[in-house]
A and B are shown apart, each in its own frame.
Chain A
Amino acid sequence: MSVPATPQSGFPSRKAPLRRRVFLALTGEYFWFYALLLPSILVLIGVILIPMVFAFQMSLGNTNIVVIGGKGSIESQWVGLQNYLSLLASPLFWQAFRETVYFWFVSIVIEVTVGIGLAVLMNQNFVGRKVFRLIVFIPWAIPTVVNSMLWGMIFDGDNYGALNDLLLRLHLISTQIVWLNPMPVLSQVPWLSNMLGYLGANTAMNAIIVGDEWKTLPIVAVLVLAGLQTIPHEYYEAARVEGASAWTQFRRVTLPLLGPILTVVLILRTMQLLRAFTMIFNLEQFGLPLLSIQAYQQAFSFGSFGSGSAISFLIGIIALLIAFVYIKQLYKEEM
């Protein structure tokens, strides 16, 4: 009994002879395990890996799609890495890149600060806390398109937007502001305005960030709250005995122990922000050319599937790099 052929799990050991393993694979024991795993592997290969490789192949050519009577054909002329090179040389691409980074950075800063604040608030003792937690969670459930339309109505500037109406009633502004036009921010201070504009800031972008946060802050706060609730109460009591102030307790006890869940939330949100499309497309069409918008526009408005694929492929690679960092983090925690 030095090497049991059938260990506790019921599956034959890895050290069992190959012939025996092949035999078992085709009969009872091992059969189920192949049968159960195979469909998912096929989905992964067929619907993720093959399209990804195909996108790369298309990005290496001047690719046009001609659809006649519902039947499409590909006309592609090999150009090598030309699509990538002209992207990297195009100011529009770098503008899109900066806008994407701006969108990501501002959103993440809001989510970390306000998100943790909101979670701490939800964790306090007050009358109606249970109902409060439920209400706060609702916006996350609103479908993204509905959320986009809602904030379109709120920020409407030409006529009858809710925000303008509110501000006019309170006499905070005297004329309607067209929030969803990409206008420079802080135009009183030209140099700062120019710098922020270069980095991607404008009123439309900021308005969209606000609308997007209305939907996403709840899930960040609720996940952080789940993290807060795992911190044992004794830690705070010990800190209080030592005479630590509320702020010191927060910095020395809460934040370090929130570390793992914050990392997870940040990475997941980063991935989602990279794919942000719906709200921008609904409110601005192609007015704010983030990377995802540009990829869509290149392919489906201009018909250049080659350069559209190149942008998509770059987005995919960036996403996979971030995913790699995330997965490494998960495994580190498991150790």
Chain B
Amino acid sequence: MRFIHAIKPRRILLYLLVLVVLFWTLGPLYFLIITSLKEYVGTITYPLPWVPSPFTWNNYSIMFSGYSPGSISYRFLHALRNSIVASTATTLINLVLGSSAAYVLSRAPIRGKNAISMLFLASNLLPTVALIIPFYVLTVTYLNGLQLYDTNTLLVIVYTSFSLGLVIWIMRGYFDSIPIELEEAARVDGCGRLKALVRIILPLTAPGLLATGLLTFLTSWDNFILPLVLAPDSSGYNLPFFIYSLNGQYLHLNNEIAAGGLLSSIPPVLIVLFFGKYIVSGLTAGSVKG
């Protein structure tokens, strides 16, 4: 029965389309993977070998070959550390600040809380490009005494401000969906407001916290223009900036770029494969239901 079902022309068309989409999606990825496993000569021979030939693991191993200053391995590991620290710190700060503010904006009877929520959302929608110039100028002039230029700290501050709005907006939706009676019951039982929030309410919003946390992490991990302007020299750069700097003016070491690129793609790809469902539900909950 199933077999007969499968040979209808409509089914054939369906599977053809699936194959086309798979080719479109996996083709470029396959090319990136084989390039990362080639020796340099394999990226500049013509016709291009469509298997990793001459094969080597070298492009990966040079990324982990020690911490001697100036080497590609040093720069990779330094960028990796910066990316991990900045993205994690941004995520944690955002979750704490954002869910606190969202809780207040959901529960407190203050005038203009809708307006405040909208301001936060608008701040998230503002393009990074619109603010890099003032960020740069403020950092090197008025705030010069703080020595923030080219540091990871500066990137954390700026990333935080750019994703805080989204966290607040999405989390407010989650808080709104939790019945207020639940909190009151806890308070009747003698919990303080903060204790009720931490013990009763936050666990219920766990899917929202997960979604917004991962979104913040992905956004910070991906950022390129802020390090390009604010941390381009020697200490504050992150993985995207490292990949960019591999692309020399005269020499394109595509195999090394591919290896570095794939390594830096591993965390976000794993996040999307394992938690994609939460991210999507967070995005739709926050943007559709308000």
Q: Contact residues of A with B, CB < 8 Å?
A: 7-11, 13-14, 28-29, 32-33, 36-37, 39-41, 43-44, 46-48, 50-52, 54-55, 58, 65, 67, 70-74, 118, 121, 124, 126, 132, 134-146, 149-154, 156, 159-160, 162, 165, 168-169, 214, 218, 222-223, 226-227, 260-261, 264, 268, 271, 274-275, 277-278, 281-282, 292, 295-296, 299-300, 305, 308-309, 312-313, 315-316, 319-320, 322-324, 326-327, 330-331, 333-334
Contacts and interface: CB of A to CB of B under 8 A. Distances in A.
27 contacts: A9-B108, A10-B183, A28-B193, A32-B194, A44-B164, A44-B165, A46-B161, A54-B137, A55-B134, A136-B25, A146-B264, A150-B32, A152-B247, A153-B258, A160-B44, A162-B48, A165-B47, A218-B25, A223-B284, A271-B125, A271-B127, A296-B229, A305-B133, A309-B133, A316-B131, A324-B122, A327-B121
Given A138-B272, A153-B254, A74 B127 contact: no
Interface of B: 11, 14-15, 17-18, 21-22, 24-26, 28-29, 31-32, 35, 43-48, 97-98, 100-101, 103-105, 107-111, 114, 116, 118-123, 125-138, 140-141, 144, 149, 157-158, 160-161, 164-165, 168, 180, 183-184, 187, 193-194, 218, 221-222, 224-225, 228-229, 239-241, 243-244, 247, 252, 254, 257-258, 261-262, 264-265, 268-269, 271-273, 276, 280-281, 283-284, 287-290
Contact of A275 (B120, B129, B287): B129
Contacts of A134: 273, 276
Chain B binding site: helix, strand, loop or mixed by DSSP? helix
Contact of B129 (A140, A214, A292, A326): A292
B47 A126 contact: no
Nearest to B34: A162
Given A43-B164, A312-B131, A261 B158 contact: no
A261 B21 contact: no
A146 B225 contact: no
A40 B98 contact: yes
A69 B271 CA distance: 42
Q: Which 7 A-B pairs have the closest CB atoms?
A: A47-B161, A275-B127, A316-B130, A72-B140, A146-B261, A36-B100, A51-B134
A30 to B, nearest CB: 8
